[in-house]
Structure 1
């Protein structure tokens, strides 16, 4: 009799379990560790995680793979997608609403309004955010800075003085990978630091023509180009985490990168304040560019998968996952009101600055990381910035004029 009951329970549990295929691009050290945590938590719920990891291109390769799958009528159960792309997939009618999960768990109160609105399609949640990344960070090797007897730069004048000193000491001042998204991200932080949050919003959120080709943009482009001689010649095709590795090892002194870079420092057992420093990009101390990782869920034909999708959505916002994931990833929890005592000084500063920028109106979405502009405009901006970085004969005004044209890309 007990064997029959046991068999019945096993059958019921198998019926409730789902194979949940998850497309993501968390493939570097700190990120891969975070994906593993999510997999384990989903499997504790009785479901099977089917990994669909696509490396490279800051998610561009993953989006190409996703399009192929959706067009063929075989989408994954969940995919890492963010910003305006969520609305575009919503327009295609292929997304599963998770509004019942969000209402039950009170997401409207748990999430900052600037982020909650991005996760909804026509008023219903279709996406679950997992974190808040600050993009406008400058990472510095502490020993390299000590070696040249310098302080972390807070202005552009200071930055170039530190860069000169590092170069004289035989240290590459700035690590970067020669990929279009890394160049775009660096320029985004430079533009914020040169022009401020209001300029940034007018240029990249509102796509105001006069601002895009105006004198402040020209100054931002000139400042961006001034950084180039402080980078190394081996940057072509280098991934961002390899550039972070240069700062970790002391081969390079500084890197402009979002706080996913901190995950690399953590994996290397480096301690903030001792081995490395995290400071806002020069001139951008009072502003905050945010980038949010999130997952959306696709309508799939396989019966029973919806239960697994909704369990995954619930897990993503759970306090346990929010803590473990963000400790690994270098970001801060998107769930508000959490205890951050286990988080390091960089994360605690990020959280304080996020709240402060929200109150001051200087919290802005990262255009270089898919948070605001549609992919065609973002791609056109990437092209303009990449060409300007690589072609010394182009003037800053010519590049600014091209940004204005790029903003009109359909």
Structure 2
């Protein structure tokens, strides 16, 4: 084992060094040079922009015109934000966009919101910082590249024109010196390439830090999306309940009422008592079917078995599952009612996936809870290769879990086994 490891290291290390040395000649590096050039030009544009807008806004602040003008300047930071995020894609980096600016009900409120827009101020701060740094830095590096490129072709220029283009106190008039200068220019270009790559990476890192939403903004965005999902899910549930009641239960109750009305008419005639009894029997059967539908409908909202706790409710799922399922429970703390309901439907969804898609012959459900979280693990010995986007319902389940700050982890290599873990806050404190 030692000999094998040494052999791999001895062959891979030189290859890694060669790959590193070739970095400035790759296509990705070429995009990095273009990125460096563009941000250097934009740095100069940014200096002019900040100077003009800052001076104009400052001079006009004593008038009413200066306040909305300053608000526009702050909002313009979002345009710069979008521009630099677009440039970052040039080097393969995607920066998440900030939350959009929300216009207020009135013009004064909109101006006030613009003046306090954190994204705009942060973007202007990035523009100021990168302009101050990149203007001299970009100028110096670009100038160095131009001088180095001239040195590289200096022997050709000297040979064609016969005029010295380099002077050290006196003009250089020697092919040997020009060849040395050309070699030095090549080395300088190589080193400057690494400088541009390094500066570009640092610039992208700074852009990600200042232009992307911060943790607070991300959290607010997630909560807003979760709230919208909850509202949509609630509306869909209400529509489903309304449809089931209208198309199913209500129709059956109407049929029962009509049957009983006909039976009442038949009872008025002693000769039709047998027919009346049949009508009452049909109404009774229809009533039983209606009660079954109502129980199924209620179970779809909150299963009655949850009144006894999560474990007894999951036991009913395990018992009805066509594949043998082992239930292992370790619920030290009972979750809140809402979390129990979510956990129940989570287990139901996962067991349904196991039965329909996995080809498994055995599954295990593990429930664990403490004061902080509830962990649900469903494992099977099926074929594996589970993908959330293949129509298994895992995408919707993950969205519902995110509504309550939960998550869904999937471990399903091709060939199996598959382990799906859902983690949600237990809500026991509530």
TM superposition score normalised by structure 1: 0.18
Greater share of residues in helix: 2
Higher relative contact order (CA 8 A, sep 6+): 1
TM superposition score normalised by structure 2: 0.18
